[in-house]
Amino acid sequence: MILVVSFPDDDHTAVVVERLRALGHEVVVLDTSTLGTTGSLELAYGTGAPAAMRLVAADGEGDRREHDLREATTGWWRRLRGTPPDPSITDPAAAGFASSELAEVFEGVVASLPLRWVNDPRSDADAHHKPWQWAVAADLGLALPRTVVTRDPAQAHEFVAAMGPGRVVTKAFIARLDAWRETHVLDAEDVERLDQVRFAPTILQEYVPGVDLRVTMVDGEAFTTEIDATATSLPSDMRMVLDEATVRPATLPAAVLAQVRALMDRLGLVYGAVDLRRTPSGEHVFFEVNPAGLWLFCEHLTGLPITDAVVEALASRDRVRVVA
């Protein structure tokens, strides 16, 4: 059994689950956002008896089905939506307590399951933190843009002045749909508002001109998409201008690929979407790696067989455990 921790309406989850089931694999999707409503984790423990861990979840027709999680061999840690309580709980304190208890049970079950993960949840959580990524990348010799993270307005002004006009971008640590922030070059109005960095840690980073490379890593294999947004309306953030950019498959130099593979190994990741930028001089600069990054847009625009690789990474782990 392959346990997929995600939600069914995530398009990446849907395509991989469909492919795995077509290959004959049993796949169970655990949507954390349903654990307080239509789903449930049911546990039992006792001396001299194996722990019982069952997931009760609604199927496609709305019927409730039980799954013995002890039969799971492989896990795909895709995307989570938290553990919200039943909406009928209106008292904030009670809702907070219920959500906390739901999360405690879910995290305990995940820690208990001896699965072959893509990615391991603990490594995935650590690798989402940009400061950790930057520290590892620097230690491995990957080129990094000059960067400060600060809540000090004086340091922010000093960094911007040292870089010069139009040479600094700001970006968010986490891309939140409810508070979206694109990566953009600071303009005069942004500089005037720099005192606002006192409210939250702010990334200020040297703007690196060049062509973006989205390197989707799956089990050590690199699928590189070149995205040339240099002539678009927002060259600082290719995500916002894909319809304007020139997109094609590409190949990383062997030395850079070796560094990216070493980065994935150090972070403990099987899967990750690595963002680099190739400068006009040919240097490859590391920005970040998203352990749950999107790949379908790269596949659709280039034909790179990334979904095949993700499916095989999960199927091969399921086969190994079943045979063993």
Structure confidence by residue, pLDDT tens digits, 170-194: 888 876 555 556 778 888 888 888 9
Q: Is 242 exposed, middle or buried (0-12, 13-18, 19+ CB in 10 A)?
A: middle
pLDDT of residue 60: 63
For position 320, what pLDDT does the model report?
A: 64
pLDDT value at 310 more than 70: yes
Share above pLDDT 70 across residues of the chain, in percent, rounded to a whole number: 95
pLDDT (mean) for 142-164: 94
Task: Quickly state the pLDDT bin for 237 (edges 50, 70, 90).
Answer: confident
- The residue type of 118 is V
User: What pLDDT was estimated at residue 271?
Assistant: 98
Whether pLDDT at 322 is above 60: no
Q: Is the pLDDT of residue 239 over 80?
A: no
Token readout for 268 is: 């403990």
Residues 185-220 pLDDT 10s:
888 888 888 999 899 999 999 999 999 999 999 999
Question: Does the pLDDT at position 282 exceed 60?
Answer: yes
Tell if the pTM clears 0.85, that is, is over it: yes
- The residue to which tokens 């995530």 are assigned: 10
Mean pLDDT of the chain: 92
| Per-residue 3-state assignment (H helix, E strand, C coil) for the chain | CEEEECCCCCHHHHHHHHHHHHCCCCEEEECHHHCCCCCEEEEEEECCEEEEEEEEEECCCCCEEEEEHHHCCEEEECCCCCCCCCCCCCCHHHHHHHHHHHHHHHHHHHHHCCCEEECCHHHHHHHCCHHHHHHHHHHCCCECCCEEEECCHHHHHHHHHHHCCCCEEEECCCCCHHHCCCCEECCHHHHHCHHHHHHCCEEEEECCCCEEEEEEEECCEEEEEEEECCCCCCCCCHHHCCCCCEEEEECCCHHHHHHHHHHHHHHCCCEEEEEEEECCCCCEEEEEEECCCCCHHHHHHHCCCHHHHHHHHHHHHHHHHHHC
Lowest mean pLDDT among 167-176, 273-282, 293-302: 167-176
For each of the domains in the chain, give its residue range(s) and CATH number, in order of start: 2-114 (no CATH), 120-144+209-303 (3.30.470.20), 146-207 (3.30.1490)
Q: What is the per-residue pLDDT across 28-65, written as a single tens digit (0 to 9) for each?
A: 999 999 999 999 999 999 998 889 999 998 776 667 89
pLDDT in tens, 244-279: 889 999 999 999 999 999 999 999 999 999 999 999
Q: What pLDDT, on a 0 to 100 scale, did the predictor assign at position 321?
A: 55
Q: Are 130 and 288 in contact (CB under 8 A)?
A: yes
| Per-residue confidence (pLDDT) for residue 324, from 0 to 100 | 47
- Residue 175's pLDDT is what? 67
pLDDT of residue 240: 81
Contact indicator for 121, 79 with CB cutoff of 8 Å: no
- The answer to whether 269 touches 278, Cβ cutoff 8 Å, is no
Task: Give the pLDDT mean for 305-314.
Answer: 98
Quick one: pLDDT band at residue 229, thresholds 50, 70, 90? Answer: confident
pLDDT at 88 over 80: yes
